[in-house]
Amino acid sequence: MQNIDQISIRDTCQSLSIRFGRLQDERKHDDLAGLMTEDATYVRLGEELRVSEFIAWIKTTPRNITRHVVTPTEIELLDSHTATGLTYYTIYLYGGDEEAPYPLAGPFVVGEYHETFKLTDKGWKIHRREARIVFRKAK
């Protein structure tokens, strides 16, 4: 594989990871499936959900204002059809009824996304995404 191909794959996979958080923030939950393989899984709090189960669950969450702030994704190409990624994330959450700018008491959680990407006939997609919480807001 040529260096330019590796750069293109890394950029594509990183864009998928970043776009995933933005779509969540915009509550465009149905669009999340388009970023993932048909047999994708999402792991949250140790529970592994098929992509359809994850989207059904996320639609039930409160209509809080969120922002996923993420680092660039470190991508490792395993072969020409598979890559893994690691992204650090911070989620800010506001559940009140004030207008923007919203009051800020610090991040809600800080964690890591561990991802596997697969090349499909529709391009690169997220095959598995695991959200691991490292820090949470103190009670």
pLDDT along the chain (139 residues), means of 10: 90 97 96 97 96 95 95 95 98 94 94 98 98 93
pTM: 0.93
| Distance from C-alpha of 93 to C-alpha of 49, rounded to nearest angstrom | 23
Question: Which alpha helices (H) appear in the chain, and where do they start and end?
Answer: 3-25, 51-58
102 φ/ψ angles, rounded to the nearest 5 degrees: -85, 145
Domain spans, the chain? 3-136
Q: Give CATH for domain 3-136.
A: 3.10.450.50
pLDDT reported for residue 59: 94
- The encoded tokens of residue 35 equal 């970023």
| Distance from C-alpha of 108 to C-alpha of 24, rounded to nearest angstrom | 15
